[in-house]
Amino acid sequence: MKRILTIAGSDSGGGAGIQADLRTIALLGGFGMSVITALTAQNTLGVQDVYPISPEFIEKQIDSVITDIGVDAVKTGMLANSQVVKVVARKIKEYRIEKLIVDPVMIAKGGEPLLSKDAIDTLIEELIPLAFLITPNLSEASAICREPVENLDEMREAAKNIYQKGTKNVLIKGGHLPGRSIDILFDGKSFFEYDSERIHTENTHGTGCVYSAALTFEIAEDNPIHQAVKNAKEFVTSAIRNSLPLGRGHGPANPYAIFSKDIQRYHVISQLKEAVRVLKEGILRIAK
Catalytic residue positions? 173, 204, 206-209
Angle between helices 138-145 and 152-163 (to 10 degrees): 50
Q: Mapping DSSP to helix (H, G, I), strand (E, B) and coil, where does residue 32 land?
A: strand
Angle between helices 82-94 and 55-68 (to 10 degrees): 20
- Pick from 179, 165, 95: nearest CA to 136: 165
Chain centroid to Cα 50, Å, comes to 20
Burial label for 32, CB within 10 Å (0-12, 13-18, 19+), is: buried
Report the side by side order of strands in the sheet with 181-186. 46-52, 31-43, 3-11, 73-76, 100-102, 133-134, 170-172, 181-186, 191-196
User: Can you tell me the distance from the alpha carbon of 99 to that of 233, in angstroms, rounded to the nearest whole number?
Assistant: 19
